[in-house]
Structure 1
Amino acid sequence: MTTEIHVKMRKWGDSLAVILPSEIVKKEKLQVNDDIHLILQKETDLSDLFGTWKSKKTPLELKNESREAWD
């Protein structure tokens, strides 16, 4: 069975851990020492991408070009 959940990584000693909500544990009938398969997908913070595009043109030049394209 496949269940998708959103969890945060937690510090556990020198390691990181994922804590499964009890509702998921009950729903999937998970027990200690069960093997599970995780597919990790880190969420991208769009603010990390902001300002990374470099252009030789100023914002004013880009704006003027886009206006010319509409004329």
Structure 2
Amino acid sequence: MQVFEAVPKPWGNSMGITIPREIIEKESISGQKKVRFLVIGSEMNSIRKEFGSLKLKKSTQKAMNDIDKGYD
């Protein structure tokens, strides 16, 4: 699985994207192979802004250490 960003460009009555050559080679993509695209629009930007903004009373490391103590 590879992740990349692309800007769609008009292609007839549709829109098209260009897949970088490195990804084509790594994934062995050919004209006969089906590929799947996950389209993430602008709503993802608002999620990215919020991610990590939650302030906890304990640091993540402290919480993980407390969880590990329960397994001893």
Structure 2 length normalisation: TM-score?
0.54
Q: Which has the larger radius of gyration?
A: 1
Between Structure 1 and Structure 2, how many residues are aligned?
45
Residues in 2 aligned to 1:41 and 1:12: alpha-carbon distance in whole angstroms: 20
Deviations along 1:4-59, one digit per CA (max 9) or x if unpaired, are: 1111101111110111011110111111121111111023578xxxxxxxxxxxxx
Letter in 2 for 1:31: S
Structure 2 unaligned segments of length 5 or more: list them.
47-72
Amino acid at match of 2:25: K
1:35 partner letter: K
Superposed CA RMSD: 1.7
Aligned-pair identity in percent equals 18
| Residues 1-71 of structure 1 mapped to structure 2, 5 A cutoff | 2-43=1-42
Task: Name the TM-score, length of structure 1 as normaliser.
Answer: 0.55
